[in-house]
Amino acid sequence: MDLIKKAKHAYITISVIMLVLGLVLLIWPKMSLSVLCYLIGAMLIIGGVVKLVGYFSKDLYRLAFQFDLAFGILSILLGVVFIIHPEHIISILPIVMGIFILVEGVLRVQTAMDAKTFGLSTWWMMILLAIATSACGLLLIFKPFESAIAMMMLLGVTLLIDGVQNLWVAIYTVKVSERNVIDVDYKEL
């Protein structure tokens, strides 16, 4: 039970970090791209570790962390590449982040549909945020702006929306049972 509480708090913390990084990019879009690669790399590594911890926790609904084993590993690997080779990432930063965020948004659409199945009343907000995140990911991939400043601002907006989405999912889908839950295997007859 402690692990799920820690995972939820860590998930909320990484969501807040995404929000802050998004604001930083909106306020200072001319930030050095290599510094940005290091910041995003660190955020991806920390976020990946949080996703792995969340995946192995005993979340009552098992919605927020359902895709986080693979996505956590991918986040950590991508974060390491961002930090080790920022000079190679700079030219494709919007595309790489766009693909990453698009995949996360699409997976959150499924989380929202599963939340609806569970009867969670906030599923509609999850799906709206997932669609907005996916749309921003697509914009980053197809680079509708030629200006580097506009691209950094779009990345900032995308991180803000993704941070809000993750925060919403963590708050409204991660449930900690107050009583002890016994995990058992069963066979369907």
* Distance, CA of 62 to CA of 55 (rounded, Å): 8
Per-residue pLDDT of the chain in tens (189 residues, 90 and over written 9): 577 777 788 888 888 988 998 998 888 888 777 888 898 899 899 989 988 888 887 665 566 667 778 888 999 999 999 999 988 888 888 888 889 889 989 988 988 898 888 888 888 998 999 999 999 999 888 876 777 788 888 888 998 998 898 888 888 776 644 444 444 455 565
Contact between 48 and 79 (Cβ < 8 Å): yes
* Distance, CA of 63 to CA of 54 (rounded, Å): 10
**Domain segments of the chain as ranges:** 2-173
Handedness of CA 132, 138, 140, 145 (dihedral sign): negative
- CA 170, 11, 75: angle at the middle one, nearest 5? 120
The distance of Cα 44 from the centroid of its chain, to the nearest Å, equals: 9
Contact between 131 and 74 (Cβ < 8 Å): no
What contacts 184, CB < 8 A, 6 or more positions away? none
- CA 86, 67, 107: angle at the middle one, nearest 5? 85
25-to-81, 150, 181 alpha-carbon distances in Å? 21, 10, 43
